[in-house]
Amino acid sequence: MSVGGPIERVWPAPVTGPLTDPELAALYGRARHPHLRVNFVASADGAVTLDGYSAGLSGEPDKRVFGLLRMLCDGLVVAAGTLRHEGYRAVRLGEARRAWRREQGLAEYPTLVVVSGSLDLDPAQACFADAPVRPLVLTGGAAEPPPGLTEVADLVRCCGERVDLAAGLAELRRRGLGQLLCEGGPHLFGALTAADLVDELCLTVAPLLAGAGPGRITAGDASPPRHLPLRHVLAAAGGVLMLRYARDPGGPPPAGAAPAA
Ligand SMILES: NC(=O)c1ccc[n+]([C@@H]2O[C@H](COP(=O)([O-])OP(=O)(O)OC[C@H]3O[C@@H](n4cnc5c(N)ncnc54)[C@H](OP(=O)(O)O)[C@@H]3O)[C@@H](O)[C@H]2O)c1
């Protein structure tokens, strides 16, 4: 298990001293009901990328929570744009995190779920070719898969040219993927917000001004604002903030025994 720099809770009730991985996992937790959590990192002035990628905004604390959120989910939902651009690799977890999942009665790895209308996907990309669990591709009714894609992934067709995201998420839940973590990108997040499907946003704020140019964490057509109350604020060395916003007033229940830090 990766151990990042110290992370402390500063709100609502400050916790003195660094949080262990089990404490962090319990703070984020798994909901008892179907739940869609979205995770992003942004600069203090709202940029979603630095030099075109998210990596420049991230750091040890963000990577630590990023990995824990993967451990907690059943399905890891990523839009095709981010998958292609960021060169997604296979979703892997260390032994301690896999052991924790086994103890919870979960599959050893979460299932990667790619959202794509065009099916412009490369079956040789490591996220497909090396996947420990066969990925799912949520797509519309029309696009033809490229050669080899159906050998490495299962297509889930939702009617229409674009994916009907409500129907798509319902189908994922029907397949046992109740706890979903979406890692973006902005167009998918914008569409999920517009469809009022987002239960939670985990946002890491990096202490830097990226300046004008990069987009925000959300993109696409305008939609009505959605109220999403703040549930906790964590702070890490160097002034990194980790904010958790969620609809559920109590937040998810504790995740139970989590792996040792
Ligand atoms: N800071 C962060 O935490 C973070 C996180 C993620 C991404 N990013 C950055 O965000 C950028 C990419 O984001 P983006 O907004 O351009 O793209 P995106 O949201 O990652 O992907 C857009 C693509 O996803 C597919 N898609 C999304 N919604 C769909 C729907 N309802 N039905 C069918 N297909 C759908 C389409 O794929 P097809 O084209 O295949 O049809 C669409 O072109 C990159 O620069 C990446 O580095 C940053």
Query: What is the average per-residue pLDDT within 118-134?
Result: 98
Residue 258 reports pLDDT greater than 50: no
What per-residue confidence (pLDDT) applies to 249? 54
Please report which confidence band the pLDDT of residue 209 belongs to, taking 50, 70 and 90 as the band edges. Answer: very high
Residue 1 reports pLDDT greater than 70: no
- Determine which of 17-21, 127-131, 251-255 has the lowest per-residue pLDDT on average: 251-255
Query: What is the average per-residue pLDDT within 219-231?
Result: 96
Omega prior to 67 cis, within 30 of 0: no
Residue 255 reports pLDDT greater than 80: no
Q: Report the candidate in 77, 55, 62, 64 with the shortest Cα–Cα distance to residue 243.
A: 62
Residue 251 reports pLDDT greater than 60: no
Question: Rounded to a whole number, what is the distance in angstroms from the first to the last CA of the chain?
Answer: 7
* Best residue among 163, 187, 204 to mutate for probing ligand 1, ranked by most atoms within 8 Å of CB: 187
Query: What angle, rounded to 10 degrees, do the helices at 21-28 and 60-72 form?
Result: 60
What per-residue confidence (pLDDT) applies to 177? 98
Q: In this structure, which residue's CA is closest to atom 40 in ligand 1?
A: 116
Q: Confirm or reject: Cβ of 168 under 6 Å from ligand 1.
A: no
Higher-pLDDT residue of 21, 141? 21
Taking the CA of residue 204 as reference, the ligand 1 atom at the shortest distance is 3
* Best residue among 84, 115, 201, 203 to mutate for probing ligand 1, ranked by most atoms within 8 Å of CB: 115
Please state, in angstroms and rounded to a whole number, the distance separating the CA atoms of residues 34 and 175.
Answer: 12
Give the number of C-alpha atoms closer than 13 A to the C-alpha of residue 77, restricted to the C-beta side: 29
Residue 57 reports pLDDT greater than 70: yes
Beta-bridged to residue 201, according to DSSP, are 38, 245
Q: How far is CA 154 from CA 87, 149, 151, 164, in A?
A: 20, 8, 8, 17
